[in-house]
Structure 1
Amino acid sequence: MTSRVILISAAISEALREARFDDGSPVDAAGLRTARTAAAAGAVPAGSRLWVSPTPRCRQTAEALGLDDGVDAPELAGLDVGRWRGATLAEVSAKEPEAVARWLADPASAPHDGESVRAFCDRVAERLDSAAEFDGRTVAVVEPEVVRALVVRVLGAPEPAFWRVDVPPLTVTEFSGRAGRWNVRAGRPLA
């Protein structure tokens, strides 16, 4: 049985524009407009199941795309950055340069008292593999780092590659296959 999982990265927010660690900020007006335009143009893929990351940004994006009947998927929540939440990388680097260096170099490190990149990749990969239990399409609206983590896992790339995958807002990344053997098609703009 072949499954298809289509990830839509959330629309842009003020936190993303300012390069801040997510703090639960909503989608900004431009992001909502772009998402609504994509929905009106019929660009949103249909699926048998709809999962939505529990962040306000993902929920608002799903609603703007006309996907407001999605099921919360806590396993697809963004990376928990603990006490760094709401700060910019520049601010954290100025206060805790050694901690940031360790975090960026060691995927098992979590100096922010949150989640390590390794644990995060493991968490979201489990959810992807659970989609293999279903035939048909699953559509999920998620944070960009969820897409990064899954691309790294599916390709079997080393975990430091997590920092090298760019995921723009409102792009589609598609996984097809089954648990343990997925193919990836990345980066198609939604609109």
Structure 2
Amino acid sequence: MTSRVTFVSPAMNDSLRQARFDDGCSLDAGGRARARAAAGSLPPAVRVVVSPSARCRETAAALGLDGVEEEPLAGLDVGRWRGLTLAEAGAAEPQEVGRWMADPQSAPHGGESVVDLCARVGDWLRAASETDGHTVVVVEPEIVRAVVTEVLGAPAAAFWRLDVPPLTATSVSGRDGRWNVRLGQALGPDPAEGQSA
């Protein structure tokens, strides 16, 4: 049995634009338009799953996907830093932010550590390997980072070295718990379309 899971990062919203920890804000007009333009660009799926956040639900809807929310794919719980930019959290709690960025096991914000997030996502991925065929998942960028970290068997510190642009697809495929990864495919019309030879 071969499984393939495509993880789609949400389209742009004010929180992403300002590098703000998710505060539940909706997609902005540009993000919504870009997601609508990308509708139909993903291969058919036997299952569609969505992170339980406004921007992921709205991205899925704009892409024409009707997904089921799964709590294990919720974004990283940043506790009392929710809604703050990293700079704002750093200005208020510089030592705590420094520790959090340096130690993936720490959670000074009162939420979840990066190690715990990676373990949660790894558990979900192991269960997903039992699904034959293609699954599309619209998830927060940190979920994509955790997936890549887990699939590559990278140390949790690698989590911070991965950039996940808005509205891109990262796919993993494999069988028997052995995955291959394809990173950062942009969604939307093929840029080569409409060009004459």
- Sort the TM-score into its range (normalised by shorter chain): over 0.9
Equivalent residue letter for 1:118: V
- Alpha-carbon displacement from aligned partner over 1:47-82 (angstroms, at most 9, x marks no partner): 000000000000000000000x21111111100000
* Aligned-partner Cα distance in 2 for 1:121–1:26: 26
Counterpart residue number, 1:170: 167
Determine if the alignment matches structure 1 residue 13 to structure 2 residue 9: no
Unmatched tracts of structure 1, length 5 or more: none
- Alpha-carbon displacement from aligned partner over 1:130-162 (angstroms, at most 9, x marks no partner): 111111011100011100001011001111110
Post-superposition offset of 1:46: 1.6
* Aligned-partner Cα distance in 2 for 1:31–1:5: 23
* Aligned-partner Cα distance in 2 for 1:15–1:134: 33
* Aligned-partner Cα distance in 2 for 1:106–1:34: 36
Determine if the alignment matches structure 1 residue 160 to structure 2 residue 157: yes
* Aligned-partner Cα distance in 1 for 2:122–2:44: 22
TM-score (norm 1): 0.96
Q: In the alignment, is the contact (CA less than 8 A) between 2:129 and 2:177 conserved in 1?
A: no
* Aligned-partner Cα distance in 2 for 1:114–1:178: 33
Equivalent residue letter for 1:114: G
TM-score (norm 2): 0.93
The 5 A counterparts of 1:29-178 are 29-39=29-39, 42-67=40-65, 69-178=66-175
Unmatched tracts of structure 2, length 5 or more: 189-197
Over the aligned positions, Cα root-mean-square deviation in angstroms equals 0.8
User: When the two structures are aligned, how many residues end up with a matched partner?
Assistant: 188
Post-superposition offset of 1:179: 5.0
* Aligned-partner Cα distance in 2 for 1:98–1:45: 45
Runs of 4+ in 1 over 6 A off after TM superposition: none
Post-superposition offset of 1:178: 2.8
**% identity of equivalent residues:** 63
Post-superposition offset of 1:95: 1.1
Partner of 1:114, secondary structure, is coil
Equivalent residue letter for 1:14: D
Post-superposition offset of 1:45: 2.5
* Aligned-partner Cα distance in 2 for 1:141–1:86: 21
* Aligned-partner Cα distance in 1 for 2:45–2:22: 28
